[in-house]
Amino acid sequence: MKLTKLSKSALCVAVPTVAAVPVALTGCDAGKTRSEKPNVIFILMDDAGYGDFSCYGQTRTETPNIDALAESGILFTDMYTNCPVSAPSRGCLMTGLHMGHTQIRDNVNLGGTPHEVSWEYDVIDSQPEIEGQMGLEPGTPTLATKMKEAGYATGMVGKWGLGGPLGESAPWKMGFDFYYGCICQRLAHNYYPPYLWKNDKKEYINDIATSLRPGTKFDEGADPYDLKSYEKYSKGKTYAPDKMCENVIEFVNENKDKPFFLMWTTPYPHSALMAPQEWVDKYVAKYGDEEPITDEKCSTTSFPHNYYPCRYPHATYSAMISYFDHQVGQLVEELKRLGIYENTLIIITSDNGPANNASSPTVWMDSAAPYRCGKGWGKRTLHEGGIRMPFVASWPAKMRGGAVSNHVGYFADVMPTLCELVGVESPKTDGISLLPTLSGDADVQKQHEYLYWEFPDGGGQLAVRWGNWKGLVKNVHAGNRTMQLFDISTPGKDIEKPEMDVAAEHPEIVERMWQYIEQSHVHPTLPKFQIDITRK
């Protein structure tokens, strides 16, 4: 097995072979002192697609700092999220369980369904019991609790989405010594929210009276082609990602003399489209003028809040990703200044594939390239565009750099990987440790027999990957049990189109896929999470 050298030009065209990077794993043995253990920074973006970074082939948006991490480490071509939406994806990541076993299998807001729940900031502020999403069960082992067990300082900065501030699944009750960010996804949908949580206390960063909830329209008579019409959404307000980045840097500095585990769960580039104007201007100069997203265009989305109007949607989407890339660069520079960069494992990925709504121009950006995105293909689907993720790992002290791995894995692997890395026993998971690949022993890397997904939303969906085969069942709730079968060995936009379905030619593979489904599914009690896998 061999890891190939990173080649940006050919990356999204051919799947490389896997190779070992010959290095000794000297800094993370269980018997080593705490000071020798590596720091771990896990960066999770929100709705970033497989093709949103230039190291994965993106030609419009520039991501030089993420590219540099890929050049210094390993770029994975076949890594997946466990779910194509936020909360269950994060739940799988935190616990190491796939969607057939995990506690949370869809987004569930506290305080009602998406169309019933309050989006008014003053209401959410005064009723913290309705803030947040369904949480994990008390006592659930998480990445943070296991890292604390190994003696690590633990922190999270960014979006949580796995419980409210008053429940037993708040981040500070799930193993994190420090938390700063948006507990609730509803507040994360505005980059100028009224407040962020710092541990169990609110830090008000903007006036609630002037914090405009998603769906707030233009002033009457406002010209959508005039930038002044957009000022009420951001002018004079504090930009939440800047506060988050400040707290990331602060956490690193406060824990520089001991091993730490930091999760940076940025809301970028999830809608709404909001970025510092100087970064937007950079891409306006590159792309030229474009049509704005107006009230009318926003109202075509299925969300009750419709996000916000945007003067330059293409430029702003690129600006959001580039600005976050810039913040990643600031973090790397601080690690270098502190002398701890070499022995810091940095992983950067995304929670699910690119969104499809009027506020995210992901089709124009080709955000899932070389796979398809847009309606029915990206986020909220089990197509490759919805679940195949960018995944970059950098650990300069242990990696030669510039490698590409086609190891097939998913978020369930993170728990056993980090537990082995820091020398603690992993809870029971659906994952396998990736430490051999990360540390240069790819020739002894264990392999998954198969990967499994289920998703109760979008009509009910099931999927299995076995080798180069992908089995997909859609519209399960409507009674469909016909599996489509695709050969995904060659990346491309057409690999999952109906005309590429070869199920009729390989009934034995379809049968094996159904056996994997049946052995992977544990029926949940909550009706919203249920999906009937019984073959009819």
pLDDT digit string, tens, across residues 255-278:
999 999 999 999 999 999 999 999
Q: Phi first, then psi: what are they for 311, rounded to 5°? A: -70, -45
Distance, in Å, from the CA atom of 517 to the CA atom of 513, rounded to the nearest integer, reads: 6
Work out the pLDDT band at 117, boundaries 50, 70, 90.
confident
Beta carbons of 61 and 49 less than 8 angstroms apart:
no
Distance, in Å, from the CA atom of 246 to the CA atom of 474, rounded to the nearest integer, reads: 43
Please tell me the total number of residues recorded for the chain in this structure: 536
Q: Is 292 or 118 the better-scoring residue by pLDDT?
A: 292
Q: Among residues 427, 434, 394, 384, which one has the least CA distance to residue 411?
A: 434
**Segment 181-219, tens digit of pLDDT:** 999 999 999 999 999 999 999 999 999 999 998 888 889
Beta carbons of 355 and 378 less than 8 angstroms apart:
yes
- Residue 6 pLDDT more than 70? no
Q: Is 103 in a helix, a strand, or coil?
A: coil
Distance, in Å, from the CA atom of 81 to the CA atom of 476, rounded to the nearest integer, reads: 21
Q: Is 312 in a helix, a strand, or coil?
A: coil
Q: How far is CA 176 from CA 130, 167, 261, 286, in A?
A: 22, 15, 9, 41
Work out the pLDDT band at 29, boundaries 50, 70, 90.
very low
**Tokens read off for 8:** 């940006």
**Tokens read off for 45:** 């973006």
- Residue 12 pLDDT more than 60? no
State mean pLDDT over 307-329.
97
Work out the pLDDT band at 115, boundaries 50, 70, 90.
low
Distance, in Å, from the CA atom of 382 to the CA atom of 143, rounded to the nearest integer, reads: 25
Helices 313-338 and 240-254 meet at what angle, rounded to 10? 10
Helix, strand counts (H, E) of the chain? 14, 17
Q: Among residues 234, 375, 243, which one has the least CA distance to residue 310?
A: 234
Ordered by start, the domain boundaries in the chain are: 34-448, 451-536
Distance, in Å, from the CA atom of 484 to the CA atom of 495, rounded to the nearest integer, reads: 11
Query: Residue written as tokens 């600031």?
Result: 330
CATH number of the domain at 34-448, please?
Answer: 3.40.720.10
Q: Is 249 or 218 the better-scoring residue by pLDDT?
A: 249
Topology of domain 451-536 in CATH is Arylsulfatase, C-terminal domain (3.30.1120)
Q: How far is CA 430 from CA 101, 405, 452, 476, in A?
A: 8, 21, 10, 24
For the chain, percent of residues with pLDDT exceeding 90: 85
Residue 370, Cβ neighbours under 10 Å: how many? 21
The distance from CA 277 to its chain's CA centroid, rounded to whole angstroms, is 25
Q: How far is CA 374 from CA 17, 185, 188, 504, 530, in A?
A: 30, 22, 22, 28, 26
Beta carbons of 167 and 132 less than 8 angstroms apart:
yes
Q: Is 259 or 296 the better-scoring residue by pLDDT?
A: 259
> Any idea what the Cα angle at residue 177 is, between residues 173 and 182, rounded to 5°?
70
Enumerate the β-bridge partners of residue 473. 462
- Residue 34 pLDDT more than 50? no
Q: Is 180 or 35 the better-scoring residue by pLDDT?
A: 180
Cis? peptide before 304, omega within 30° of 0: no
User: pTM of the predicted model, to two decimals?
Assistant: 0.94
Q: Among residues 146, 150, 140, which one has the least CA distance to residue 170?
A: 140
For the chain, percent of residues with pLDDT exceeding 70: 91
Query: Residue written as tokens 């002192």?
Result: 33
Segment holding 178, helix H or strand E: strand 178-182
